[in-house]
Amino acid sequence: MAGLSIGRTGPRLLSGVRGFHTSSARQITLSERIFGTTSIFKQDLIKPFVGSPEPNYVAGENPTKPTITKLDNGVRVVTQDFGRPMSAVAAFVDISPRYETFETAGSSYMLEKLAFKGSSKRPPVQVIRDIENLPASFTATASREMLASCAEGLRYKSKDILTALIESSVLSRPMADVSDYETKEYIQEELTALKALLQDDVKEQAENTQLVILDGLHDAAYNGRTLGHPTIVTDSMLAKITPDSLHMFMMELLTGENIVISGCDVDHDEMVSVVGEMLGHIPQGTSNRSRHPAKYTGGEVRIRSEHQARIAIGFEGYSWDDKEIVAQFVLSHLMGGGDYFSTGGPGKGLLTRLYTDVLNQHHWVNSAITSNLLYADSSVFAIQMSSFTNKMEDLMATTISAAQSLAKAPTAVELERAKRQAIGNMLANTDGRLVTCEDLGRQVSIYNKYITPDEFVTRIEKLTAADLKSVGEKLLSSTPSVALMGDLQSAPEQGQFKSMLSGGTKSIKA
């Protein structure tokens, strides 16, 4: 009977809207039916409302050029002013796992966790209270190449924010002198308490297969040295960290030449004065990277796993200072990729090569991702794939086939699309107060100069299909770095990946 009721209701509903499309008289709009004939929706939304005041246009941002000052001891200060009411400051120190030894492994991770937990002048509780009263937000991160501390808050408090940042970061830890017994005991108690709190974090790192495969790829690429040192911390590493080992690690690396302080929407002269007063005592030293250069070797790392199959194939790329790095950046967007699902809305990168040639063709592939792992003096261009089941043999064949396409010249449509994606991604990642501040500091730390986003856009626009093909061929000519995770029974013998990449994938099943 319900069906009859619906059938009888249908004609009445249709008769109510018949005037929309069959009447020869003036059509009645939907807004008039809902709100009446005097509806405000009769107003043309393209034209200003009648009687509305004229808008008061405000001039757009007119940022100053970045200003760089180098202090007598080598510490560099870089700022840029956009005239905004909020400020951001950051400290970059060339301290990272690439400089760790067997005795000091895990020290960079520990220094990151020790940030804002006390200083040489104030206990942890006082530091936290002072930060809360500024007010400002503070963060600290340790990457494979440097240790960074950042903060942002109201502009009129920028001097106090910078002071708090320097005083409570790695730049002013009380472990600077462990000869004093009371200081050493205090640091030991602090380390013991922190190690207990970090047990869950250490466990999560070990179970994160993405971190594990990336560490394996870097291990293979740099033969376990410099950039090949692990970023995943183990319990055994934490157990070896003592006040003395941290002191030794810091005193070797914490020199003026390896420190950059950046600021966005701050007074440059005031910032230079604060930095000089607080960090002027640090010895000048020499560049850590010049003493520990990264040397790409290529190689293989194999990790057994019963849960999933993962593979990462990397090639020696260009460093930040090479002009070809721009073409390599666009090539990574040409290859693209992603997961089997799209986050943040559909349509992102669905026409990139890894989507069209891999994810759209093989339902069993969980993810296919291009990674452009850039560092100051080296880089690794990598393609990573994973599958739900241990289909290692098929996964290797698919990954190698995708890598071979690096030498394929893009079509005009592919090139233009990759350029647009690269420009959009770069501009999105350099938009914002804190991001701009970080970009200033990282570039000056690596380049000793600052290249604006507009300059990068100009370089990208000039690229041709031949440029991307040339970079792709150069990548494939290097010794591959391979990290495998999963059922390794079907994996080829050590050293076979080079011949597979040049001669096809038939040898996988041989």
Query: Are 149 and 162 a contacting pair, CB within 8 Å?
Result: no
Query: Are 113 and 194 a contacting pair, CB within 8 Å?
Result: yes
Q: What is the pLDDT of residue 119?
A: 66
Does 279 share its domain with 305?
no
Does 322 share its domain with 398?
yes
Q: Is the dihedral angle over the CA atoms 88, 93, 94, 100 positive or is it negative?
A: negative
User: In which residue are the tokens 């040192």 written?
Assistant: 229
pLDDT of 87 strictly over 80: yes
Domain closes at, from 291, 308, 335: 291
Contacts of 292 (CB under 8 A, 6+ apart): 98, 99, 226
Stretch among 5-14, 61-70, 232-241, 281-290 having the lowest mean pLDDT: 5-14
pLDDT of 45 strictly over 80: no
pLDDT of 146 strictly over 80: yes
138-149 average pLDDT score: 93
In whole angstroms, give the CA distance from residue 279 to residue 75: 8
Does 96 share its domain with 132?
yes
Region for 285 from its dihedrals, namely left if φ exceeds 0, alpha if ψ lies in -120 to 50, beta otherwise: left
In whole angstroms, give the CA distance from residue 438 to residue 415: 29
* CATH code, 464: 3.30.830.10
240-262 average pLDDT score: 91
Does 258 share its domain with 334?
no
Does 357 share its domain with 441?
yes
> Interhelix angle for 412-429 vs 465-477, to 10°?
80
Does 285 share its domain with 303?
no
For the ranges 47-51, 188-192, 240-244, the one whose mean pLDDT is highest: 240-244
For residue range 13-32, list pLDDT tens digits in order: 334 433 344 444 556 555 55
Residue 371 phi/psi, 5° resolution? -120, 130
Residue 224, in any domain of the structure = no
Q: What is the pLDDT of residue 23?
A: 44
* Cα distances (Å, whole numbers) of residue 99 to 168, 225, 352: 23, 9, 37
Residue 102, in any domain of the structure = yes
Residue 225, in any domain of the structure = no
Number of domains within the chain? 3
Does 129 share its domain with 186?
yes
Query: Are 377 and 319 a contacting pair, CB within 8 Å?
Result: yes
Residue 52, in any domain of the structure = no
The domain of 278 spans: 67-198+233-291
* Cα distances (Å, whole numbers) of residue 425 to 250, 329, 367, 430, 456: 36, 11, 20, 9, 12
Residue 82, in any domain of the structure = yes
Angle at 465 between CA 460 and CA 466, to 5 degrees: 110
Residue 58, in any domain of the structure = no
Among 255, 211, 261, CA closest to 69? 261
Q: Residue 509 corresponds to which tokens in the numbers above? A: 């099943």
One-letter amino acid of 388: F
Does 163 share its domain with 103?
yes
Q: What is the pLDDT of residue 5?
A: 38
78-88 average pLDDT score: 93
pLDDT of 41 strictly over 80: no
> Interhelix angle for 412-429 vs 453-461, to 10°?
180
Does 369 share its domain with 281?
no
Q: What is the pLDDT of residue 474?
A: 96
Residue 285, in any domain of the structure = yes
126-152 average pLDDT score: 89
Does 132 share its domain with 12?
no
The secondary structure of residue 357, as a DSSP letter, is I
Q: What is the pLDDT of residue 26?
A: 55
Does 274 share its domain with 254?
yes
Q: Count CB neighbours of 40 within 10 A.
A: 8
Q: Residue 417 corresponds to which tokens in the numbers above? A: 């699309």
Top-confidence residue, 188 or 186: 188
Does 29 share its domain with 134?
no
Domain closes at, from 241, 265, 291: 291
Residue 206, in any domain of the structure = no
